[in-house]
Amino acid sequence: MTKWVYNFSANEADGNRSMKALLGGKGANLAEMCSLGLPVPAGFTVTTEACLDFDKQDKTINPEIRKQVESALIKVEAETGKKFGDDKNPLLFSVRSGAQASMPGMMDTVLNLGMNDESVQALAKLTGNERFAWDSYRRFIQMYANVVMGFNVSMLESTLEDLKEARGAKEDTELTASDWRELVSVYKNIILQETGESFPVKPLEQLWAAIAAVFGSWNNQRAIKYREINEIPHDWGTAVNVQSMVFGNMGEDSGTGVCFTRDPSTGEKLFFGEYLMNAQGEDVVAGIRTPAPINDPSKNESNKSLKTLREVQPDTYQNLVDIYQKLEIHYKDMQDIEFTIERGELYILQTRNGKRTAAAAIKIAADLVSEGILSEKEALLRVDPEDLNQLLHPRLDPEAEKIILTSGLPASPGAASGIITFTSEIAGIRATAGEKVILVRKETSPEDIAGMVASQGILTARGGMTSHAAVVARGMGKPCVAGCSDIEINYEKCTVKIGKEVFKDGDSLTIDGGSGEVMKGVVPTIAARLSDEFSTFMKWADQYRKLGIRTNADNPEDAQVALRFGAEGIGLCRTEHMFFEPERILAVREMIFAQNRRDREKALATILPFQKEDFLGIYKVMGNRPVNIRLLDPPLHEFLPHAAEEKSELAEHLGVDLDEVEQRIEKLHEFNPMLGHRGCRLAITYPEIYMMQVRAIIEAAIVAKNDGLNPKIEIMVPLVSEARELSFLVKRSEALIKSLLQSDKGSSIELDYKIGTMIELPRAAITAAEVAKSADFFSFGTNDLTQTTYGLSRDDAGKFLPEYLGNGIYAEDPFVSLDQSGVGFLVAHAVKEGRSTNKSMHMGICGEHGGDPRSVEFCHSNGLDYVSCSPFRVPIARLAAAQAALKFD
């Protein structure tokens, strides 16, 4: 029989942390914490399988699950000595979602479940705090109406505001028990009038509806959106954790808080957290009240005047310290812990591996190794390669002039500049139009996720270091300045007042999430400074990885950046950009307009010295590292002018009629240029183009050689679909190279060069055994290979790709992450076939996928020798390659 429900309590637990898929992250951790003997309120977890069953059963909970929930309930009653729905010692529950992956704030939660007109009285009697009991009851009604009944609660909220006004009260805390009692009765009336249904008073009825609502919330819009952004499968489902309530709002000896075992921004080893007395958990996260620091290290500008938990409840604090140390060693990672103090009694509600910035991730991993808690290998597996992205991008130029307007909490490090934007919608629209945006909000909520994704950085007026904006921004690796109380936002007028200055929607700001500074306008940036921990960490990665890491670079500047990031060579140097330089483009066009080979060769001779300089510049930067140069790839018509003026200019230069220019352009037009007269096809018809390039490559190498360098040249022929294309061009190139290497004195210059091909068409991959016979290397051009394998033009797919991703027809964008079942099949086939006829063949991948961690893993598993990616993704590829080696070898 399927076990749908798992009990947990401080004494024992049915589950453990390895059961995340079934119990969700929260449920598995609750069980694990119970096994460690931590003070966790008793409860039970309904499994993710039950969620999937719920969907299958047309949104009903099947009888077997109900039976198991009822048994679990009896156990909790025994554990706590309370009784669900009792009028003497009532048991109340929190009902929370908990999926395999953390999706903070995305799904629904109901607190205080089990309250009704009887239990409120019992609670008042038990706690001797009538006001607390009725406040809890009205909170429950409001939350249940919203989450379970789908009721629009603004009507309830305005009633509360009316009441406060009538009482002359500013804060909720000024209302009395009888005020809350009155409000409960008003709430129930409104709900009855608006929905035609009485508010449910039977606790079991409440429980079934709440469980169903949490299951249902797996498929609410914002949860789906969040999963898309974070690539979480839609078919995982969520578990439901039903846990006995403890109350942080039972008076000034109660409270609730969140803490991190290390600093999630910098990774520094210091216990760090915030708390609020007489409050429930959501008050901390929502960022409405400014929370207090738990200890001195947690103090900052906005909370430094508040008392620390250490001062207020030293025993509780010490208890918490003992627990966090136990947890960090147990989980071998930085923990994000939620706790509640009920009348001086500490309860741990949740622990999980804390979200952190990339810098923190690196530092924590490195520190845990020094502390002997982690091995290097474990440490390498702890950091998401994609997160390194944050570290590599530019930071503010310290020399630049800055007008600092104010500062807030340094909630997520990094510098960002952009146009001030106040709503998610506008942020999305602007980002689509290519604009950079800073999202400015009083506070953020899950509805703002899309806007945060679309922004360069986030600035909020309220909330602490663990507020929604701060946590989510760190997870996304976006700069965030939070709780900047000095700013006044007017959503209606779309303005923000900072100090005395008013900025409108459309003005620019710069924020530095590392310092918390907010600056006027766009402040210039310089390259990132890489920490010592980063270097250490990347050295470990280099030590374990098997794949070589190269970069795609077309000029000395990019090559230089890539070297700094650890590139071991150039995997793709495109030559076409060099043709576009203003001083060459006319010669290129002359070449295109030539009527015969002689004229073409004449025009090419003008370009030759430029190309030689291009290559020499790159060789000088790369020293004796390999440089893979791809011969001309785009169709010739890409080099022709489009503007009327340019056409006239060209006609004049060539001494022909404008008509003739127009006609030639017309003649070169292609219906599907992607599948047209380009790549090596150009060289089959006009071999002299490639021969000029080969000459430039080799002559530049000879100059480099004479300068004492030892360049390693790889000449790459693009767009081969048939082995004979390659053998034809290799034969001609070899002959030319042989003649070039013949020195004046008759001896031959030694040069380390290879000639190979890009595998970027399905047929080349399929017939790789034949192609390999004339190739020294293969480089998989997975961009074009994806286009042809799918029959999908990247330039045109934008119109329907979002729909394909939205309805799950494509699991992910195949241009971002290598499609392993289709394109990957061809790569694997080509590797095997290619090596069958040419054992010593060197193989790599260029194209965007070379910097995508999952694709790097694929390359490792399929025996490639290296990956090549854009300079800024080199460290990501290095780490991904190390992780692949650790996972698969």
Report the catalytic residues.
468, 846
Q: Which residues 812-831 are close enough to bind its own copies by CB under 8 A?
A: 819, 821-823, 825-826
* Smallest separation (angstroms) from its own copies to the CB of 806: 10
Whole-angstrom distance, CA of residue 400 vs CA of residue 524: 6
Which one of residues 657, 670, 707, 752 is an interface residue with its own copies (CB under 8 A)?
670
The only residue of 344, 623, 808, 863 in contact with its own copies, by rule CB under 8 A: 808
CA dihedral 158, 160, 165, 167 (to 10 degrees): 160
Helix (H, G, I), strand (E, B) or coil at 127: helix
**What is the C-alpha separation between 704 and 709, in angstroms, rounded?**
5
Helix axes 723-741, 687-706, angle to 10 degrees: 40
**CB of residue 587 vs its own copies: minimum separation in angstroms?**
23
What CA–CA distance (Å, rounded) separates 665 from 643?
12
Taking CB under 8 A as the binding criterion, the range among 51-59, 307-315, 465-473, 666-674 that sits at the site for its own copies is 666-674
Q: What are phi and psi of 80, to 5 degrees?
A: -90, -15
| CB of 683 vs its own copies, minimal distance in Å | 11
User: By CB under 8 A, how many residues form the interface with its own copies?
Assistant: 49
Nearer to its own copies, 223 or 761 (CB): 761
User: What is the C-alpha to C-alpha distance for residues 515 and 499, in angstroms, rounded to an integer?
Assistant: 18
Structure tokens at 586: 């006319």
Amino acid present at 331: Y
Q: Is 545 exposed, middle or buried (0-12, 13-18, 19+ CB in 10 A)?
A: buried
d(CA 61, CA 68) in angstroms, rounded, equals 11
Site for its own copies in 703-742 (CB under 8 A): 719, 721-722, 724-725, 728
User: From CA 28, how far away is CA 280, in angstroms rounded?
Assistant: 23
Shortest Cβ 840–its own copies spacing (Å): 24
Q: Which residues 6+ apart lie within 8 Å of 143 measured at CB?
A: 109, 110, 111, 112
Q: Cα 94–229–862 angle (5° rounding)? A: 120
Specify the residue, 224 or 286, whose C-beta has the smaller distance to its own copies. Answer: 224
Q: Whose Cβ is closer to its own copies: residue 204's or residue 797's?
A: 797
Closest CB to its own copies among residues 55, 505: 55
Which amino acid type is present at position 801?
L
Q: Which of residues 768-807 bind its own copies (CB under 8 A)?
A: 770, 784, 787-793, 795-797, 799-800, 803-804, 807
Q: How far is the CB of 766 from its own copies (least distance, A)?
A: 5
**Minimum CB distance to its own copies, residue 790 (Å):** 5
CB of 770 to its own copies, least distance (A): 8
- Smallest gap from residue 641 Cβ to its own copies (A): 18
The residues that bridge with 336 in the sheet, in sequence order, are 260, 352
Q: Residue 640 — φ and ψ, nearest 5°?
A: -90, 155
* Contacting residue, 761, 864, 867, 874, with its own copies by CB under 8 A: 761
Q: What is the DSSP string of 728-762?
A: HHHHHHHHHHHHHHB-TTS-B---EEEEEEEE-SH
Comparing CB distances to its own copies, the nearer of 544 and 810 is: 810
Separation of alpha carbons 583 and 880, rounded Å: 41
Among 809, 816, 832, 863, binds its own copies (CB under 8 A): 809
12 or 803: CB nearest its own copies: 803
Q: Nearest 5°: CA angle at 655, between 650 and 661?
A: 45
Residue 640 contacts residue 665 (beta carbons within 8 Å): yes
Q: Which two tokens stand for residue 774?
A: 């004339």
Give the three-class secondary structure for 775. coil
User: Helix (H, G, I), strand (E, B), or coil: what is residue 3?
Assistant: coil
Cross-strand partners of 752: 712
Quick one: 10 or 723, whose CB is closer to its own copies?
A: 723
Smallest separation (angstroms) from its own copies to the CB of 822: 4
Nearer to its own copies, 710 or 783 (CB): 783
β partners of residue 629? 573, 715
**Of the two residues 498 and 683, which places its CB atom closer to its own copies in the complex?**
683
CA atoms of 422 and 413, how far apart (whole Å): 21
Q: Which residue has the tokens 């509805």?
A: 447
In the complex, the smallest distance separating the C-beta of residue 547 from its own copies, rounded to whole angstroms, is 24
- Output the smallest distance, CB 832 to its own copies, in A: 13
Which amino acid does the sequence have at 175?
L
**Minimum CB separation from its own copies for residue 597, in Å?**
13
| Identified binder of its own copies from the candidate list 9, 48, 460, 767, rule CB under 8 A | 767
Q: Mark out the alpha helices in 573-656 (DSSP H runs).
A: 576-580, 582-593, 597-622, 644-654
Nearer to its own copies, 224 or 703 (CB): 224
User: Closer CB to its own copies, residue 497 or residue 724?
Assistant: 724
At its nearest, how many Å lie between its own copies and the CB of residue 763?
4
Near its own copies in 671-710, by CB under 8 A: 671-677, 681, 684-685
| Of the candidates 866, 857, 876, the residue with the CA atom closest to the CA atom of residue 534 | 876
CA-based angle 571:573:575, to the nearest 5? 155
Binding residue for its own copies (CB under 8 A) from 766, 817, 837, 861? 766
Length of the chain: 889
Tokens encoding 474: 């760190």
Residues 6 or more apart whose CB falls under 8 angstroms from that of 560 comprise: 621
Question: Three-class SS string for 277-328?
Answer: ECCCHHHHHHCCCCCEECCHHHCCCCCCCCCCHHHHCHHHHHHHHHHHHHHH
Q: Which of residues 195-234 bind its own copies (CB under 8 A)?
A: none
- CA-CA distance, 372 to 46, in Å (whole number)? 37
Q: Which is nearer to its own copies, 269 or 600 (CB)?
A: 600
State which residue, 98 or 762, has the beta carbon closest to its own copies.
762
Residues forming contacts to its own copies in the complex (CB under 8 A) are 670-677, 681, 684-685, 719, 721-722, 724-725, 728, 760-763, 766-767, 770, 784, 787-793, 795-797, 799-800, 803-804, 807-810, 819, 821-823, 825-826
